Amino acid sequence: MARPRAVVLLSGGLDSTTTAAAAKADGFDVYALSVDYGQRHQVELERAAAVAAALGVAEHRTVKLDLRAIGGSALTADVAVPKDRSADDMGHGVPVTYVPARNTILLGLALGYAETVGAFDIFIGANVLDYSVHGDTRVWLRTREWARLMPIREAHALPPREYETIAVDPASLRLGWFPVTARARHWTATRRAFEVRLDRGQTVTVSEDHSLFTLDPDTAAVVPVRGDSITPGMPLVVPYDLSIAADAWAADLAELNISELPAACATRFARPSIVRDGDFVTNRLRKTQLPVRFPVDDEFLYVVGLWLAEGGKEPASRRPVLSFSVGGIPGAAERLTAYFARYGVNVRPSPANRFDFQVASSVFATLFWHLGLFGTAKAGRKRFPTFFWRLSQRQRRLVVAGLWDGDGSRVFKGRTVLAQKSHALIDDLYHVLLLDGIFPNVKRGPNAQKLLYLGRSRDFARFVELYPLAHPDKRADYAAAAARTARDKATGLWKCSGLWRAVAAAALPAGGKTAVYNRGGKYDPGVRAQRAAFADVPALAALVRSPLAFCQVAAVRELPPVEHMYDLSVAGAETFVADGVLAHNSGYPDCRPEFLAAFEGMANLATKAGTEGAGRFRVHAPLLKLTKAEIIREGVRLGVDYAGTLSCYDPDAAGRACGRCDSCQLRRKGFAEAGVPDPTAYQP
């Protein structure tokens, strides 16, 4: 039986050579295609011919197509090849060695060649660095119908459709919703993983080659920094105001469908008491009747908040009573009584003390359990209800108001604090407040508590304006704190030489620079400068207007290997917000899986062979998510002789690699990490 044919794009480099060997090992007759597109050095094509002969390909063709007429790349125009760049620089944006539309053109040629020789499989040695975060990392995602904060693992598992995430355009520093073009899961068991904790409590776990963002000390520009280069004391970029994205939650959730409540109850009780009665859910006595289309009104949401603060039941509890300890909250008992009276349920004070009140209702107890509201503060298992991220932002404020009336402190030493052993409540609350432009501080507290603080006068003002607290003393405290005049250092710009150079270079009126230095705190011991002081410095305008803060790395902890980590590709931004921290996603745009999938689809729509049903074209990129070390190990396993390959962007006339361009550095690092001797001839 004849072996299937495959066209392999062969440049003579490490990646394409390994790809050709992999195609051959997969049982294909390899038809190698090289392209003379006007690249700097012909030695690359000579190496491709030698590799093709060594691999014993069925046929090797070279097509001439001069892309120098287009230019736009250090490989096809009179543009210097970047050398001696750091790993962080290499991970920043699209490099100048990117040849405009090269892979699109090369794959187009390979597709034509494939039609000619009767092949339906095309191999390309595309390879991008992985940028990966832990599966529990939470990201923002929205469609036309919903918007949620969810673990990236769950985002990856969603069905194909159009999604957007909150991201920042690294050029303009504009924050908003950007299209998600791919959701990826990477095998990372061989990579190092790091948990990074910041001074305001944000924590994110990244792989060694994933980049977060920092401030370049020399230029005051926002730039990526790899996970394995992050150290305590350095600043990382954190969005502190997501209010521009909050319009995704403008519409109120009017009702909940609780028709499944009887069936859920049947799985919980041997003798279930909850039944469906027409358009109502009730118990066998038919005393309390809840509409199947249960109204999510403001009073219900405030009661849920009070429950999270001052209620609680063990998840396994079957006692049909909800206990609220709200006697110390002005007006709370009266609001509870009025709300449950709508459904014929009495709220009874405890005979033991003046603080506790009981709601004896099997229907409401089952509803609260079904909505994920069972859990105790002592066990740290309280959660916001399952429908929380379906609410509008206005509705979430009502839940938070009930919670804060119960658990939030009054102002002490300029701060208010909400303390919880239920860390999930604090984590969600942090993100809710960010959507209103409130920038909390989260700390670890005693007795396994997590503490959320508000301390900026602007945050107090926003909180009093937007959150309908019923506790009069707390409202008065927060209003007084909002009127306080204080310098806001939490969102200040990170002090660095680049910041002061920008001021020195600015054309400001006489005395203007001195005023910026003084207002900005150049000579103060703190690490952050007052943001407003730089409003008139043109080079810093985008940074000053941006909703980006700089939080100091408090600790970096290496974790045991993580089997899989996750990533988003984001169009127009190459970033996404991960657990409140700005994360990076970049690389060559025509090496991404979404590009290759799109080309494959086009190939089957735009060719005679594809449209006539002779077969289906497939684009293979077997190295796409491998590190250089993994590629080299695979090539060694396949018997590849890497001495004949050349990866360099700028070899000399003798064909020796420069050893300093990005490609050479990645190649050298790959051989070192693979534990394989590097056979490359480098220039002295």
Share of the chain above pLDDT 90, in %: 65
Q: What is the pLDDT of residue 649?
A: 79
Residue 607 annotated as binding site: no
Strands (E), 560-615: 564-570, 575-578, 581-584
For residues 642-657, one letter each, b for 16 or more C-beta atoms within 10 angstroms of the residue's C-beta and e for the rest, the string is: bebbbbbbbbeeeebb
pLDDT at 209: 79
- Binding site annotation covers 12? yes
pLDDT higher at 41 or 387: 387
Q: With bands split at pLDDT 50, 70 and 90, how would you rate the model's confidence at 666?
A: confident
Nearest-angstrom CA–CA distance, 307 and 70: 66
| Residue 20 counted as an annotated binding residue | yes
Q: Under a CB-based contact definition with an 8 Å cutoff, are residues 493 and 499 in contact?
A: yes
Nearest to residue 41, comparing CAs of 84, 81, 98, 96?
Answer: 81
CA proximity to 556, closest of 205, 239, 314? 205
Q: How high is the pLDDT of residue 94?
A: 45
Place of tokens 């932002």: 393
The third-level CATH classification (topology) of the domain covering 5-129+592-674 is Rossmann fold (3.40.50)
- Quote the CATH superfamily of domain 138-240+548-586: Hedgehog/Intein (Hint) domain (2.170.16.10)
Q: Is 176 annotated as a binding residue?
A: no
- The pLDDT-based confidence of 348 (bands split at 50, 70, 90) is very high
Query: β-pairing, 121-123 with 5-9?
Result: parallel
Q: Is 18 annotated as a binding residue?
A: yes
pLDDT of residue 563: 87
pLDDT above 60 (res 684): yes
Q: Is 362 annotated as a binding residue?
A: no
- Nearby residues of 446 by Cβ (< 8 Å), 6 or more positions away: none
- Of the candidates 58, 45, 38, the one whose C-alpha atom is nearest the C-alpha of residue 10 is 45
Least confident range from 92-101, 376-385, 537-546: namely 92-101
Q: Is 366 annotated as a binding residue?
A: no
Q: Which CATH number fits domain 255-482: 3.30.300.280, 3.10.28.10, 3.10.20.90, 3.40.50.970?
A: 3.10.28.10
* Domain ranges for the chain: 5-129+592-674, 138-240+548-586, 255-482, 493-545
Model confidence at 318, pLDDT cuts 50, 70, 90, reads confident
Is residue 13 marked as binding? yes
Give me the pLDDT at residue 78, please.
Answer: 52
Dihedral over alpha carbons 573, 574, 577, 582 (to 10 degrees): -100
pLDDT of residue 470: 94
CB 652 within 8 A of CB 683: yes
Dist CA 424 CA 411 (whole Å):
24
Instruction: Name the average pLDDT for the chain.
Output: 88
pLDDT tens digit sequence for 44-97 = 888 999 999 999 999 999 998 876 655 444 344 454 546 555 544 544 444 444
For 253-295, what is each residue's pLDDT tens digit?
Answer: 999 999 999 988 877 765 668 899 999 999 888 889 999 999 9
Section 6-32 average pLDDT: 95
CA atoms within 13 A on the CB side of 128: 27
Contact 336, 303 (CB under 8 A): yes
216 is in an annotated binding site: no
277 is in an annotated binding site: no
- 457-488 per-position pLDDT tens digit: 999 999 999 999 999 999 999 999 999 877 77
Whether the pLDDT of residue 365 is over 60: the answer is yes
Enumerate residues 6+ apart whose C-beta is below 8 A from 507. none
pLDDT confidence of residue 592: 65
CA angle 107, 15, 585 (to 5 degrees): 80
The residues facing 618 across adjacent strands are 121
Q: Is 658 annotated as a binding residue?
A: yes
Structural Rg of the chain based on CA atoms: 30
Q: Which residues pair with 177 in a beta bridge?
A: 166
- Give the strand pairing for 293-295 and 290-291: unpaired
Question: Is 15 known as a binding-site position?
Answer: yes
Counting every residue written for the chain, the total comes to: 684
- Tell me: the pLDDT tens digits for 570-620? 877 879 999 999 998 755 555 666 678 888 999 999 888 878 877 899 999
**Helix, coil or strand: residue 489:** coil
Token digits of residue 156: 């990856």
Residue range 302-311, pLDDT digits in tens: 999 999 999 9
Burial label for 279, CB within 10 Å (0-12, 13-18, 19+), is exposed
The set of residues, in sequence order, having a beta carbon less than 8 Å from that of 76 and lying 6+ positions away, is 37, 38, 39, 40, 67, 68, 70, 99
pLDDT reported for residue 176: 97
Is 664 a known ligand-binding residue? yes
- pTM, rounded to two decimals: 0.77
Q: Is 10 labelled a binding residue?
A: yes
Query: What is residue 314's predicted lDDT score, i.e. its pLDDT?
Result: 87
Report pLDDT for 309: 94
- What's the rounded Cα separation, in Å, for the pair 250 and 230? 38
